[in-house]
Structure 1
Amino acid sequence: MTGDSIPAGIDSTIVERTIDSGFPLLMFPRRLEAAFEGEGAAERCRKLAIGGLFGIVLYNLFLISDRLTAPDTFHIAVWLRLGVVTPIALLLIAALYLNPPVAVRELIVAGGAVILGAGSNFYLMLVAHGQHHDAQHQVIILILLFVTMVERVRFWYAVAACLGCFAIHATALAMLPAYPLQYQISSNAVFGCAVVLSIFASYVLEREMRMNFLLSLRGRLQRRDLDLETRRDPLTGLLNRRSLDEVIEACNQSKSAGLELAIVLLDIDRFKSFNDTAGHQAGDVCLKRVAGIIQSELRDYVDAAFRFGGEEFILVLRGIDLATAVRISERIRRAIEDAAIPHPALPLGEVVTVSMGVASAVVSREIRVGVIIAAADTALYAAKRNGRNQVSPRLPTADIVEMPDRKLRSK
């Protein structure tokens, strides 16, 4: 997903509502949550894996402490750290490169840190009878920092990991006869404070991350809306000449070779006299009604309508031959006539009509879109010369093509 892309199904309403809510539980609505986790998921897995490798290196450096504080059980520490924990951790890190689902990804990091890191230190504390244990249970505090500050595991998984570390720490001290109850209470209180601070840091960091994501989405949506405004005619809401130029350029690209393209030019009959009689404000209303009818008769995401001039429109219909394009144009012409928009410059009862010129061809190096537009323009003038309110060329069986589900289907 690119930096300016907008996830499907996300709009300004859901983004603004979520920002206003403050998302105190660090959870978004379902679609927004999926977008948050899906955006940059592969990159997050990569960073978690790098952090995991860094953690393994630090974890094994504590062999120095094991050698100095518990030389009698050093061989056990070497076997456990290098022979058991490190290979398993490397397998878990390798699994991250498979870009697993969110829950699996976070459990790999949080669960791996607690079970392998804190669990192995707990075991070494138990086997080192009568020897110094301070270094071992202090290491568990570092695991809190690793989970919440280095890997930045998602908040609720971090809470579980921190509570798991606290349980291991308290259990380890309780099982060691060298630690009296008052020392256990004091040590667990300090460790508990470290847990609280780590959880608080995790909350703040993730909330900031989520807010940055929402603000980024807001910015992307605003840029998209601004970009759409520059590509749409402000009066009719249809695409403008700038958008038409971009579509023409795209269709002329070599990758579009072999694309059958139909061009329809549509002109409102006697529109100048409409404006002169009723005024430009009424003329604008007429243009908007005609544009709305045109847009409603096109296929979503396939066809496009543009305001080409004052009262002239151009339709770009992809993958449609001439006969089908004429039938669609005839349907649009009838829909505009059936709308019965009164024409003030004509006798009472006369309504606004349109003339349409149609052309279709397969785009190639020899036949560019401009050639098809020129052919449609010639057909439009033929329709006007022949009496207006018609589609040119005329086909013997120009049946209307109905598209209630936006799929072509002959009536």
Structure 2
Amino acid sequence: MGDARRVDPDADGAVPAGDDRLLGPRSGDDARRRARAQPLPDGAARLVKFEAPRGTHDVLPSEQPLWERVIGQAERLCALYGYRRISTPLFEDTELFTRTSGEGSDIVQKEMYTFTDRGDRSLTLRPEGTAPVARAYIQHGLHREPQPVKTFFIGPVYRYAAPQRAKFREFWQWNVEGMGSDDPALDAEVIQLFAEFLHRLDIRGSWLELNSIGDQKCRPGYLEKLDAWLDEHAGELDEDTLAKRRTSPLRVFDNFPRKPENVQRALAAAPKIGESLCEECEAHFAEVRRYLDAYGVEYRLTPTLVRGLDYYTRTTFEFMGEALGAQSSLCGGGRYDYLIEEIGGPPTPAVGFASGIERLVLSLTEQGAEGGTPEVEVF
């Protein structure tokens, strides 16, 4: 502490803008000159104007603390729950997504950034994170490790969709995946993890919607009933819903809260998958609810809740929020017991979720949250 005598007692006082003391050294400091602030040249306004591509955005230094708060909390909780980080390439073989998401899904039909490389290979910027993690699980023999293999991923994904508030073409996604177990306790664990995340960040006005969409045993019989009902009531549905029916009848319920009110009223009378669950799926769903009750996680049973990707089975869930001014999804997920087998791996039940970082940051911003001032080390 012998150098404490050199501390300027006025050092914590405000220095007026433009004060030359900001540019030069103090006595005893390194004598190198500091760069002066310089205005843009007179001709700068005439330069070509470049902006971030439509549907993308910059995260400025002033915004970084809130991003770090969100991502840091996600990382800490994943570590606490035993989930390990995994990273995958930004692009994959296109077939990985067409096989897993479904040829008729919005992602495959409208939203993928696909290109052919110089080796004449069709590649796609990842539109979601689960299929790449499943591919890595197979490729690197993770099925030979103790199961379940619990991983998380945080990184950018790409979808060509109409840019809206809190909806971008390049956005950051947080994925949590538990692969190698059909235990309903794992379903409840990933749900409770995100509920705890919202609690720790104090994101208010959110709720959990929950459903089961059955599996390959009970879903075919249900789809026959649904198809018959849709034939009778096709005149009550809009073109978007009819188009979804042509690719997958279950998808008529996709984005149910955002459908026109008359379509919602019509579909409310349609047969629901919950009425046709087999004994095994019904028992699994009951156990998921029992675990959530034990955790103290509240939920709303939502029989119209399906996911927009073909690989989901049994449990589906979505955390909704009102912080952005309208009902908005903060997190969506569910079980995908056949995905890994579909792309060449062994039969491997799995469950997980995905959450958009930008939506979480905007939710906090709307509540007036601040990221805090980064710590500065002084030498």
**TM-score, normalization: structure 2?**
0.22
**RCO higher in structure (CA 8 A, sep ≥6):** 2
Flag the structure with higher helix content.
Answer: 1
- Report the structure, 1 or 2, having the larger strand content: 2
Whichever of the two has the greater Rg, that structure is: 1
